Amino acid sequence: MSNNSPDQVLSSDSPRLLDRVRARLRLGHYGERTETAYVGWIKRFIVFHGKRHPAGMGKAEVEAFLTHLAVARGVSASTQNQALSALLFLYKEMLGIDLPWLGDVVRAKKSSRLPVVLSRDEAQRLLAELHDPELVLIVGLLYGAGLRLSEVVDLRIKDLDLARRQLVVRDGKGGKDRVGLIPVKLVELLRARVAWCRALHAADLAQGRGQASLPEGAARAFPGAASSFGWQYVFPATGLVVDPRSGAASRGHVDERRVQRAVKAAAARAAIPRPVSPHVLRHSFATHLIEAGYDIRTVQELLGHSDVSTTMIYIHALNSGDRPVHSPLDELDDGSLREPDAPGYAAAIPVRAGAWYPRAWRVRSGAGPSPVRSPP
């Protein structure tokens, strides 16, 4: 265990704890989203225990906090595990306190759920409900290229290769770069988008602005990059923002929440009954590729998964590949099913022309016999 006492860690001549956490995360080249999440969880942990210093707390306090998240707040297993990872960083990397028990704290077991996937018809209806050209492009890349929302809004002009119909995802999940595809239907729309961005950048430069926020270390590696056109965002924000790391005013990218709200509203207008988020479009991209017969390794590379087992979850789709799956029930004689005993049950089911029903449902008062379609 470290020789530092809580009083020493909180000495008046030391930077505030959370500021030191931010500095250590940046030193380790953690992403901006990771920094925001970790600092947030550490702050909540301290406030939960009456603003006691973490160095004076132990296993009981950590487990009490994680239990509170699961029971009182009902967070998911992945959220609870993120909070635990933040506390692991705090004690081991930040405070330099070796607590053997912390690694033994039981992590919440993630549920194994199938992803929500839209049908092709639902995807088309959702896109038809988007009328803002910028949102059409963003959602088109979510579904047409299988990108994460963060990857779409982080795209820079230099990352687009319209001639080869390719884009480059920089510093994606896990800090990896990868090549993605640009749908043919989006090439000309993106070309027009680039021209619009060029005009916006020229107007910004004329007003003494034109600075884009840069990734960690890019300003030192590429002097002048912030004002060059290639480093501008494909989907810039409408106004200037203050970079949380550098403190400089620059033009960031479009707010992710705007896209999330637009997708949710478009799904509602399209009468899609399932909850739809931008990530559902990525799930749909992967599933539809597999249904079209593309091999799992190709889909893995396009999605940027490190392990093919992550991609295998999309093999949940029925009727995919060259050999569609038929239910054995469809091979039985139609007399095998009987109408339930509940009064009025059959009468509550609408008869559709050409549909197949159990024999007992076919003759109804005043309806006559329903046509029979042979099971496939």
- Burial of 283 from C-beta contacts in 10 A (0-12 / 13-18 / 19+): buried
List, for residues 53-65, the tens digit of each pLDDT value.
888 887 788 888 9
Tokens linked to 196 = 């619009």
Do 162 and 50 belong together in one domain? no
Q: What's the CATH number where 67 sits?
A: 1.10.150.130
Residue 219 domain boundaries: 120-313
How far is residue 242's CA from residue 252's CA, in Å, rounded to a whole number? Answer: 9
User: Model pTM greater than 0.75?
Assistant: no
pLDDT at 25: 87
Q: Please check the confidence at residue 11 and state whether its pLDDT lies above 60.
A: no
Domain boundary among 273, 290, 313: 313
Q: Say if residues 235 and 139 touch (Cβ distance below 8 Å).
A: no
Confidence of residue 198 (pLDDT cuts 50, 70, 90): very high
Kindly report, residue by residue over 211-238, the tens digit of the pLDDT. Answer: 887 776 676 777 788 888 999 999 999 8
CB 245 within 8 A of CB 58: no
Answer whether 57's CB lies under 8 Å from 67's CB.
no
- Annotated catalytic sites, by residue? 148, 173, 279, 282, 305, 314
60 and 144: one domain? no
Q: Determine how many CB atoms are found less than 10 A away from the CB of residue 72.
A: 8
Do 219 and 245 fall within a single domain? yes
pLDDT in tens, 110-152: 666 778 899 999 999 999 999 999 999 999 999 999 999 999 9
Could you give the number of structural domains in the chain? 3
The enclosing H or E element of 253 equals: strand 249-253
Q: Tell me the per-residue pLDDT of 147-167, one tens digit each, with 9 for 90 and over.
A: 999 999 999 999 999 999 999
